[in-house]
A and B are shown apart, each in its own frame.
Chain A
Amino acid sequence: DAKTTQPPSMDCAEGRAANLPCNHSTISGNEYVYWYRQIHSQGPQYIIHGLKNNETNEMASLIITEDRKSSTLILPHATLRDTAVYYCIDSEGGSQGNLIFGKGTKLSVKP
């Protein structure tokens, strides 16, 4: 079973920021926070990951609370192509960590 909890769905207006929350109540010290998304009928796409510090890349920003019990993925200017299911995962990474995908958040970006 997934270790994280996310809202089942969210809507966002095109061009606005999408803020997707995640709770990591049982995250351990050596586990990273990973975010992936899955567009319908495609393989999951890696977005970003972090350990303690906030992270930013060309796709998104990741905000991790100081106690690491929650995180927020921010898509700064959502487009229609960002409509997907977004998953947050606690994992040690690679062969040391099985990526356990929960049900994720279905983000619908609307014009």
Chain B
Amino acid sequence: SQTIHQWPATLVQPVGSPLSLECTVEGTSNPNLYWYRQAAGRGLQLLFYSVGIGQISSEVPQNLSASRPQDRQFILSSKKLLLSDSGFYLCAWSELAGANQETQYFGPGTRLLVL
């Protein structure tokens, strides 16, 4: 069965510091991968998605970047964190199961607090 891991689970960082969040998926090959952010009391916002190694699509302009160095590894980074980067970061994966059927499955999330 497939599993998705994220770490760290929680992170407190000062403004201006760098960031690296990691997501890995097991039990599947060539998944689509996604990074979402959920601000407190709000819905999920899609940040990036990737359909393959080195292929990254950005959904919103921001202070963050994403990379996919390996098939089942997705990394979210920032060179200098802003206060507004605080939130709950979720990684998700999907695979094509039929025509237009790609259910997304989410990881446990990383809670980031920028002070």
Contact B32 A41 (CB under 8 A): no
A49 interface residue (CB < 8 Å to B):
yes
Q: What A residues does B38 contact at CB under 8 A?
A: 101
Interface residues on B, range: 20 to 34
Contact A99 B101 (CB under 8 A): no
B27 interface residue (CB < 8 Å to A):
no
Query: Closest CB of chain A to B109's CB: distance in Å?
Result: 5
Number of interchain pairs (Cβ within 8 Å):
66
Interface residues on A, range: 20 to 34
Give the secondary structure class of A's interface. Answer: loop
Query: Closest CB of chain A to B19's CB: distance in Å?
Result: 19
A50 to B44, CA, bound (A): 21
Q: Which residue of B lies closest to A43 (CB)?
A: B106
A97 to B94, CA, bound (A): 11
Contact A44 B103 (CB under 8 A): no
Contact B100 A99 (CB under 8 A): no
Contacts A43-B90, A43-B107 given; indicate if A94 touches B43 (C-beta within 8 A): no
Contacts A32-B100, A95-B51, A95-B102 given; indicate if A2 touches B44 (C-beta within 8 A): no
Which residues of B does A touch, CB under 8 Å?
Answer: 32, 36, 38, 43-44, 46, 49, 51, 57, 59, 90, 92, 94-96, 100-109, 111
Which residues of A does B touch, CB under 8 Å?
Answer: 2, 30, 32, 34, 36, 41-46, 49, 87, 92-104
